[in-house]
Chain A
Amino acid sequence: MTTAAVSELLEVNLGPQHPSTHGVFRMQATLDGETIVALKPVVGYLHRNHEQIGEHATYIASFPFTDRLDYFCAMSNNLGLAIAIEKLAGIPVSERGDYLRVIMAELTRLVNHVAVTGFVLNDMGAFGTPLLYAFRERERILDLFEACSGSRMMCNYIRPGGVREDVPEGWLNRARGVVTNFPRFLDEFELLLTDNEIIQQRTRHVGVLPKELAVSASVTGPLLRASGVNYDIRKVDGYSIYPKFPFKVPLGAVGDVYDRYYVRILEMRQSVKILEQALKEIPGGPAISPKGLALVKAPRTFRPPKGDAYGRVEAPKGELGFYLVSDGSPIPYRYHVRAPSFINLTVLEDMCRGQKVADAIIILGSIDIVMGEVDR
């Protein structure tokens, strides 16, 4: 008598309580042995009505809430909303304010990229060492944020027309010190990781995201650039004063996890260049334009003209957009956030299919999601 081996598919819930789902996120994975056949992302555990709250508060009152979208990158989130409001109401930005915004946004990029690189390594099973080295650097930048905004993560610092208040005395020199030392840390970090045999084996040709799929799924950010698409909103829109800085956009070759890791490293090096230039050239003057200041002082009397505006920035995770519709009242009629984490997450299943369970975890890590932004 012969019996054919019958193999069954196994359905495993990775999350919502799981050490590597980066928050309350659930992946419903169907496994054939260790191979993933299907994977369904389940989101919504952290939904907190961000957009509805925005439609019941004045324009300025939404800023603290944007801090909680992607809580690693509060400054970029502030900047996105500020740009949308400026577009809506035609508010000019003071020159010093513009420089400070770029400095903050690029520091945020450093914070985010070191953190995500460390987390991916943690997902790969490196017991915290790369993560803690990354966090040591992150702390230095968070100290800067604390000095200028009063808070390390929930900065709530950037306002339409500039920034809330000027940086304290000596801050720029401190920032210069941090930025000058950063490449040294990157070299050390790369020495530990970039050519590591195990990392190469684990990440190369894992979770490949083809160019066409990335574009058609409207993926943005390092995830898109690692697939080789030259699309950086800092270049495309040239918003704020980015055209003044001659930085480059690093592009990946294959679009696998390794490329995403390395593109982020290269992006950090470019950010350091931008920061060095910005910290050198920053002019004096007010940190916020008079019109912006008036709005900040009296948010309830601020009535933008009827119409709509879409402001977007190249947040560390991708295109972060704020869509505002004004009906002429102090409160927006519609307030919508285009969250890069959420949209980048849509390609997760395509990247994971046919890979091993262990790979799904690092693919998820390499997408770089923050549940605060996915669920809003």
Chain B
Amino acid sequence: MSLDQLFVTAHDKLVHLAEAWLPDWTGPWASIAARIGLVAAVAPAIMMYLTLYERKVIARMQNRLGPTRVGRYGLLQPLADGLKMFIKEDLVPEGADRLIHLLGPILAVVPALLLFAVIPFGRNMAAVDLNVGLLYALAVASVGSYAIFMGGWASRSKFSILGAMRSVAQIISYEVPGVLSVVAVIMVTGTLSLVGIVEAQRDGWFIATPWGLVAGVIFFLSGVAEVNRTPFDMPEAESELVGGFHTEYSGMKFALWYMAEFLESFIVCALTVTLFFGGWDGPAVPFWTVAALLALLVATATRLAVPTRAVGALVCLGAGIAFAREPLPSWMWFLAKTYFFFFILVWFRGTFPRLRVDQLMGLAWKFFLPMTLLNILVAGVWVAAPSGVARWLGSATLVAAGYWCFVRLNKPAPLERRTYVLAD
């Protein structure tokens, strides 16, 4: 059994088991159930620990410790939060449209879960390898804006409506450059399958090409804007609109909004990794080095009890020895890259103030959009020209020239150098 195909093997064993003991027609159904079950179980778990991850990282940036009280290192904090959300009163404002108020958060979470189906988490590890996977992902992701508007509208609160209006304007604006930047990838790979796109990057990640760099950066930033995270967190701008579209939500419905946001953030990171950073592909690092590092980390974790540390370190070492010959499995690569991008999201949140609505729109329409359009041209050149240094340099020049032009054109009135008088 290889570590790389751990989950695939487990799935196959399950299907064989079903076929061996139950009527034949149950095989495919068992396979489907296993995939659905995995997505439905893994996605909320990922979301819960993303909240802890974000809180811990931001706390470090702010000279704090973050959650420490519930479980060691606050590891049980997400469960406590979940429990708290469950037992909170569910308030619906008077005069609100109760049905749509309820549907809003549900409609927000469902697309986020649906997206998990097509993400290739590792070699052979996409729950569904759709041949139009990318199209599916883009289409499903855009449903989220309906949910936000439904929630904002049905709440019957001015803050909610303002937040929802901002949100819809923002998501629609950023979807355009986001989708157009992906067009370049489709042109070069000639496939809409996410698995196919990852496989096309075996010789080099797309981010290392001129068009890939532009598309990658724009895709990631548009994604950040689409999931409403700092510095684009206009729709829920806390300091202005209280909570934006989810001002009037409480209890589990509120938790669902948060879940949708975190899952979508995760998906944005995962898609960026898949499209531009080689997906599950990674340099062949021996697995035992990572296991040894992990063992060291556990052994030196001072806040754990000594027996726990010893057992944890031994388990890690054991895994390292058992799979000593194997490279780091593909799903670990994928998750490591994705969490790195999520770290960047958190980093943004920890450092950047928020842009204003009009500035945000300007960025999308005046800079990202022309840049992606130019990038499609560059990708065309890339596909048509024979490979070599000339192609690389040519397209790099084109991109650099375009960047320079659009920055020049967009430059607001130059910021005056201010002098401050020190009077007596």
Contacts and interface: CB of A to CB of B under 8 A. Distances in A.
A292 B61 CA distance: 48
Interface residues of B, number: 38
A253 interface: yes
B318 interface: no
B349 interface: yes
B353 A125 contact: yes
Nearest to A10: B158
B352 A198 contact: yes
A31 to B, nearest CB: 8
Interface string A344-371: 0000000000001111010000000000
B349 to A, nearest CB: 5
A20 B421 contact: no
B351 A125 contact: no
Interface stretch (A153-161, A179-187, A258-266): A258-266
Interface stretch (A127-135, A295-303, A304-312): A127-135
A240 interface: no
A58 interface: no
Contact of A129 (B61, B238, B355): B61
Interface stretch (B25-33, B125-133, B356-364, B392-400): B356-364
A248 B422 contact: yes
A125 B230 contact: yes
Contacts of A201: 355-356, 359, 412
A37 interface: no
Contacts of B408: none
B420 A20 contact: no
B162 interface: yes
Contacts of A196: 353
B418 A254 contact: yes
Contacts of A89: none
Interface in A15-34: 18-20, 34
Given A200-B415, A254-B418, A125 B159 contact: no
Contacts of B418: 253-254, 258-259, 262
A192 interface: yes
Contact of A127 (B58, B357, B423, B424): B58
A126 interface: yes
Contact of A133 (B63, B353, B358): B63
Contacts of B158: 10, 12
Contact of B356 (A122, A127, A254, A358): A358
Interface in B231-273: 231, 233, 237-242
B355 A20 contact: no
Contact of B351 (A10, A129, A259): A129
A122 to B, nearest CB: 7
B362 to A, nearest CB: 10
B239 to A, nearest CB: 4
Contact of A356 (B159, B233, B356, B412): B356
Interface string B169-203: 00000000000000000000000000000000000
Given A121-B353, A129-B61, A249 B422 contact: yes
A251 B242 CA distance: 34
A129 to B, nearest CB: 5
B250 to A, nearest CB: 15
A271 to B, nearest CB: 13
Contacts of B64: 132
B421 A251 contact: yes
B67 interface: no
Nearest to B355: A198
A167 interface: no
A319 B218 CA distance: 50
A250 B356 contact: no
14 contacts: A18-B242, A20-B239, A124-B239, A127-B349, A129-B62, A132-B62, A198-B353, A204-B415, A230-B423, A251-B420, A251-B423, A258-B418, A266-B422, A357-B240
Given A198-B354, A198-B355, A356-B357, 8 more contacts: A19-B242, A20-B239, A127-B350, A196-B353, A202-B359, A249-B424, A253-B418, A258-B418
Q: Closest 5 CB pairs between A and B?
A: A125-B354, A248-B422, A124-B353, A20-B239, A126-B353
Interface of B: 58, 61-64, 158-159, 162, 166, 230-231, 233, 237-242, 349-359, 412, 415, 418-424
